[in-house]
């Protein structure tokens, strides 16, 4: 890939698009859920982009950001009065909270993969989040986090075994020993879903987990985001009626489907030229595209942009 196609990691267009897709989906949940009354728990870091989106589009006014290292900077940077910064590691902060008392949207965005806190976090939140709550987990899907993992006797584990080691009881029996960056992300997603389902069951809950998202994207590092709802029978009925997966093409209704987000890198000029062709009743072929837009793009990129163009970010600089 030519260098110009690789955008600055700090701008992360795929993550940007994913964020908007997720908030759009949540906004489409049945009004009976009354999202305004929810609490949002996330990891805003210093930029709090998700917090702003959630507040603006979902109307949530009770927000908590978990921050471990840059606490005072986070407190300085929080954009809204309704955000509280809680200091500590996710598992510790979650264990201190009474999650039973309020329905929540919990989005834990980890830098690490299965070797990090994600399985512990699942164990913290699943026994407690009341029906109607949303759980979203983002983890690192780079296969390298499964390398150089040693077992109790100091022997290096194969990647599949390393995943089993981290996931414990949630690991599938069928994980192949060798995993590459193609096979690993879907398996990682499945393992996370399984861990959630298991945690709900072993904590004696009647509620089930209904999937919404299973995204794979790469803004320099492959990442997987899975998400869904914890619902009892009544809420599940309301949710099924809304038929979200029929209206929103990126919402899944089974655990085993993973969607790759691969937004093409376009200059603002290219974006405008492309937008002038959209929406299009028929898919645009590369030749057609080149003729009308006056620059060339591969078919896959054209298709990806067609699907996500409404959420595509534009970046600019503002003067202070």
Positions that interact with another protein (CB under 8 A): 92, 95, 119-120, 123, 127-128, 168-169, 198-199, 202-206
Minimum separation from the CB atom of position 168 to another protein (A) = 6
Neighbours of 243 (CB within 10 A): 11
DSSP label at residue 33: G
Minimum separation from the CB atom of position 192 to another protein (A) = 14
Residue with Cβ nearer another protein (25 or 90): 90
Asked whether 16 and 7 are in contact (CB, 8 A), the reply is no
Minimum separation from the CB atom of position 126 to another protein (A) = 9
Alpha-helical regions (H) of the chain: 13-27, 49-58, 71-77, 90-96, 118-125, 159-167, 184-202, 233-242, 244-247, 268-275, 286-293, 299-308
Residue with Cβ nearer another protein (197 or 244): 197
Q: Is 205 left (phi over 0), alpha (psi -120 to 50) or beta?
A: beta
Rounded to a whole number of angstroms, the CA Rg of the chain reads: 20
Minimum separation from the CB atom of position 70 to another protein (A) = 20
Residue with Cβ nearer another protein (98 or 173): 98
DSSP label at residue 256: T
Asked whether 66 and 86 are in contact (CB, 8 A), the reply is yes
Minimum separation from the CB atom of position 80 to another protein (A) = 28
């Amino acid at each position: 890939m030519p260098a110009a196609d690789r955008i600055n990691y700090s701008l992360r267009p795929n993550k940007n698009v994913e964020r908007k897709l997720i908030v759009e989906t949540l906004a489409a949940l049945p009004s009976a859920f009354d999202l305004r009354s929810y609490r949002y728990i996330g990891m805003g870091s210093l930029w709090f982009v998700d917090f702003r989106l959630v507040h603006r589009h979902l109307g949530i006014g009770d927000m908590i950001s978990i921050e471990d290292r840059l606490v005072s900077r986070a407190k300085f940077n929080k954009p809204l009065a309704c955000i509280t910064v809680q200091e500590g590691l996710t598992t510790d902060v979650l264990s201190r909270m009474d999650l039973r008392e309020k329905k929540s949207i919990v989005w834990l965005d980890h830098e690490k993969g299965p070797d990090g806190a994600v399985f512990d976090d699942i164990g913290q939140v699943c026994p407690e989040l009341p029906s109607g709550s949303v759980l979203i987990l983002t983890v690192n899907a780079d296969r390298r986090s499964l390398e150089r993992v040693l077992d109790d006797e100091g022997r290096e584990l194969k990647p599949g075994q390393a995943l089993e080691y981290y996931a414990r009881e949630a690991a599938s029996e069928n994980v192949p020993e060798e995993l590459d960056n193609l096979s690993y992300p879907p398996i990682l997603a499945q393992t996370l879903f399984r861990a959630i389902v298991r945690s709900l069951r072993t904590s004696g809950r009647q509620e089930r987990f209904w999937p919404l998202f299973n995204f794979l994207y790469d803004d320099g590092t492959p990442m997987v985001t899975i998400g869904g709802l914890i619902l009892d029978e009544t809420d599940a009925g309301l949710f099924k009626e809304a038929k979200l997966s029929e209206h929103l093409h990126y919402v899944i209704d089974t655990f085993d489907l993973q969607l790759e987000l691969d937004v093409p890198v376009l200059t603002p000029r290219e974006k405008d030229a492309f937008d002038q062709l959209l929406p299009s009743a028929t898919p645009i072929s590369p030749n057609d595209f080149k003729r009308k837009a006056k620059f060339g793009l591969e078919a896959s990129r054209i298709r990806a942009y067609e699907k996500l163009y409404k959420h595509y970010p534009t970046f600019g600089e503002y003067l202070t």
